[in-house]
Structure formats: C-alpha cells, structure tokens
Chain A
C-alpha cells in the first residue's frame, strides 16, 4: 500500500471517529419532509397550469378593443429608436418577437403623444401586443390587437398615453412575453 493511500485512510478514520452522527429518526424526518414539500410543489404547479388552461381562453384578451377616442397618429420620419435603455422621446418604436420573447423588453414613449409601433413577429407562433396602465396586467388596458402568426410585420398606431409606467405583453404567452413601456 502506498504512502498516499495510508495517509488518506488515517485521515478518513480520524474524521469518521470524530463525526457526530445524527439520530436516524432525524434523517428519516428530513426525507419525509422533503417528499411532502415536493408533493405540495407538484400539486401547486398542476393547479397553476390547469388554471391557466381554463382561464386564459375564457378571458380572450386578444379580442379587438374598441378604437374609440384614439387620437390620429402622427407618424414620425425619425429612425427607429430601440429603447433598450428606455430613453424617452421615442415617436416610433420597434418590437420583435422571437423564441417566445419580446426584444427589447423595455420601450419608451413621450406622454400625450401618439406613436407608431412596428411589431415584427419572426416566428410561426401567433403573438400580439397588449398595453396596460401600471406595472402589470391588472391595470386598465389601453391598447390591444389580435394575435397573428409570423413571419410578418405589423405597424400599430398607439394612442397617446399618460405619463408613468405601462406594461405590455403577448396575450397568448402572458408569462413569457412581457415588458415595460415607460411614458415620460
């Protein structure tokens, strides 16, 4: 037996002898507790998925909204502002959908001024854009259009919005595709 093996064995024996061994009941309790937590997590996940399957089609949030009160659009000749840093003074914005993700996830607009939004759906999966007041979809919906499959580009005229944070999402993939629209 070589010296290294001997050293390792001596050290392992010393470590083993000095180990504090927890009671077997504690170990069993730890295992059972974990199994219960996993089971509870699985039940919650199934419930959440079932809820999404039932609720989302009922709401049909992509039904066209009444266009009443929408001010006339004022298209701008300025180039597209990507809005990655949410810089304001954007009168034309571009949004891309690819791999079930919006890019960019943050857009900016000027308060009280309508703007044009070019929405480029690069994939065959249907997507749309809905905008809500406030930081999430619980606020008032201020814009929506029906989902469409790509590859296709649609240009939307977004009505003048009030100052503050807005939230946008794809109604078909509300948890995966969402972003912030900052109106200054």
Chain B
C-alpha cells in the first residue's frame, strides 16, 4: 500500500523526529499524535515532497504547527492536570530523561521550541527564526532565557550553558 520510498523515509526519520517532538511539546502521546498526523499528510503528498531537499524538515514543521495548535486547545486541560499533580507516562524512562522532561515542561512552549530546534536539531539561529516565523532577536532572547531557566532547574553550570551554543 505504502510507496517503498515513503516507507524507507518514514522508517529512517520517525523515531528521530519523535524524540525531538516529545522534548518540544513535553507530552509523548501528543507528540506521537502530531507526528503521525504530519506523516499521514506527507504520505498523500509524497510525490511532491520527495523532490524537496529536506522532506524531514517539512514533516517536522507540520508536526510543530500541530503541536502548537494542540497546545492552545489543551492549555486549560493541561493546567488542570498539573494542578492535580498528574505525572507524565514516562515510568520506563531513565531518571535523567524524566528530569529533563519535567524541567522542559515547566518552560513556556516558545522557549522549548527554540531550545530544541537550536540545541537538539542543530539549526542555526537564523534558521530557527525562519522555521518559526520570528525575528532573529526574538529567537536569541528566548534561547538565552530558556537556557538560563533550564540550567537553574537541572542544576547545570549556568556559565557553561550560557556561553556555548
């Protein structure tokens, strides 16, 4: 049913993109849903997408937009869950990853986005700005604030975190 080339692309990129998205949106189920939806859209447009230089970037961008929309829709529900002290379903993950997820979830989505795209995906600041449709200065500010906040929460050396990247 699925085009072989699409299947290969999907197999090669799904897990990597999921890792990025979970950190970005802080919720595994939500990340999975957004990513699968993005891949479903890619599947029906594959003839066009295959000629793109980076179809992976297209999928990430669609998934990112979907998580942003979902975040808006679910903000109230999430706030209620946090008030009730709900723990994310990450029991099988290492303590270090859970700590990072919890620390990331405490940051605003805008800061998580720039941190993940810049530090994890490895996009330069200008490309992060392009991807999110933001001015470069805004991306730099969010990066600096996000790094500071994360360093504080994870008890990293703020000097090292702030001077690198």
Contact = CB atoms under 8 A, between A and B. Distances in A.
- Which range contains the number of B residues in contact with the other chain? 35 or more
A74 interface: no
B5 to A, nearest CB: 11
27 contacts: A1-B164, A3-B161, A4-B119, A4-B147, A4-B151, A5-B164, A8-B23, A8-B116, A10-B97, A11-B96, A11-B100, A11-B101, A12-B22, A12-B23, A12-B120, A14-B94, A15-B22, A15-B97, A16-B18, A16-B19, A25-B1, A27-B2, A28-B43, A29-B1, A30-B36, A30-B43, A32-B43
A85 interface: no
Given A4-B156, A8-B100, A24-B7, A18 B44 contact: no
Contacts, number: 116
B100 A24 contact: no
Interface in A30-50: 30-32, 34-35
B120 A15 contact: no
B15 A19 contact: yes
Nearest to B41: A31
- Which range contains the number of A residues in contact with the other chain? 20 to 34
- 5 nearest A-B residue pairs (beta carbon): A2-B164, A12-B19, A31-B40, A16-B19, A16-B15
A15 B40 contact: no
Interface of A: 1-5, 7-19, 21-22, 24-25, 27-32, 34-35
Contacts of B22: 12, 15
Given A9-B120, A24-B11, A30-B40, A2 B160 contact: yes
- Per DSSP, are chain A's interface residues mostly helix, strand or loop, or mixed? helix
Given A4-B147, A35-B44, A22 B96 contact: no
Given A2-B164, A3-B157, A25-B1, A12 B20 contact: yes
A11 B98 CA distance: 8
Contact of A10 (B2, B3, B96): B96
B58 interface: no
Given A4-B164, A11-B101, 19 more contacts: A2-B163, A3-B157, A3-B161, A4-B151, A4-B154, A4-B156, A8-B120, A10-B97, A14-B97, A15-B28, A15-B93, A27-B43, A28-B6, A28-B40, A30-B36, A30-B43, A31-B39, A31-B41, A35-B44
